[in-house]
């Protein structure tokens, strides 16, 4: 029974990401997994509940990155590990045809329709920034970097340029293949603060 619930969640996730919340019907989800509407309603009382659970269990889990797997002793190595991780994710998602404006549209739909879901997104962003700040502090203390910018400002420069680059790439239809431009940009930023 748990497998059926997970199949429904995965099918709904794929459809919501590709088409958006409003364009996906329960019938389309049932057809995708080969079930009846009754079977879907056995697990989820309505499309809203299904949407919320998909967002919390699958979408937010994709946003959470285990930063401890990235190098912690060098800012340079850390951001290259970060870029490698995102490139693998983008290629995986790109093969499934899901890296698109609808990926972000899904996130914005969820947060607009269900404001309580913003908490998970904010937690993810907070964890990301904290991971950057920690590795920047290490880089500063071991003499790898030297700058008058605070650790938070350096973290923001990396995070926000990455976010902007990603959003722009998706809008222009250039993802996932253009990450080498972000590597060059981050390398230039790194070289400007390297001791």
* pLDDT top residue among 12 and 58: 12
Largest CA distance in the chain: 64
Q: What pLDDT shows up at residue 94?
A: 47
* pLDDT top residue among 168 and 144: 144
Say if residue 139's pLDDT is above 90: yes
Using the Cα atoms of residue 4, residue 10, residue 13 and residue 15 in order, give the sign of their dihedral.
Answer: negative
Rounded mean pLDDT, 21-37: 90
Q: What pLDDT shows up at residue 174?
A: 64
Q: What pLDDT shows up at residue 96?
A: 41
Q: Taking the model in full, what pTM does it have?
A: 0.76
Whether 8 contacts 29, CB under 8 Å? yes
Rounded mean pLDDT, 93-110: 61
Q: What pLDDT shows up at residue 72?
A: 95
Say if residue 164's pLDDT is above 70: yes
Burial category of 82 from C-beta neighbours within 10 Å (exposed 0-12, middle 13-18, buried 19 and up) = buried
Peptide bond into 33 cis (omega under 30): no
Say if residue 95's pLDDT is above 50: no
Q: What pLDDT shows up at residue 145?
A: 97
């Amino acid at each position: 029974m748990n497998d059926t619930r997970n199949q429904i969640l995965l099918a709904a996730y794929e459809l919501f990401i590709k088409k958006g919340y409003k364009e996906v019907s329960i019938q389309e989800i049932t057809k995708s997994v080969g079930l009846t509407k009754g079977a879907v309603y056995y697990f989820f009382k309505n499309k809203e509940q299904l949407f919320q659970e998909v967002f919390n269990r699958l979408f937010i889990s994709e946003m959470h990155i285990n930063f401890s797997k990235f190098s912690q002793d060098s800012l340079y190595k850390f951001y290259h590990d970060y870029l490698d991780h995102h490139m693998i994710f983008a290629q995986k998602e790109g093969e499934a045809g899901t890296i698109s404006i609808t990926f972000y549209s899904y996130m914005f739909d969820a947060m607009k329709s269900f404001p309580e879901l913003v908490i998970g997104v904010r937690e993810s962003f907070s964890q990301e920034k904290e991971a950057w700040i920690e590795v920047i502090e290490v880089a500063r203390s071991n003499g790898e970097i030297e700058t008058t910018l605070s650790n938070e400002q350096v973290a923001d420069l990396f995070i926000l340029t990455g976010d902007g680059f990603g959003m722009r790439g998706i809008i222009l239809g250039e993802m996932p293949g253009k990450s080498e431009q972000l590597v060059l940009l981050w390398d230039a930023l790194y070289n400007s603060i390297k001791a």
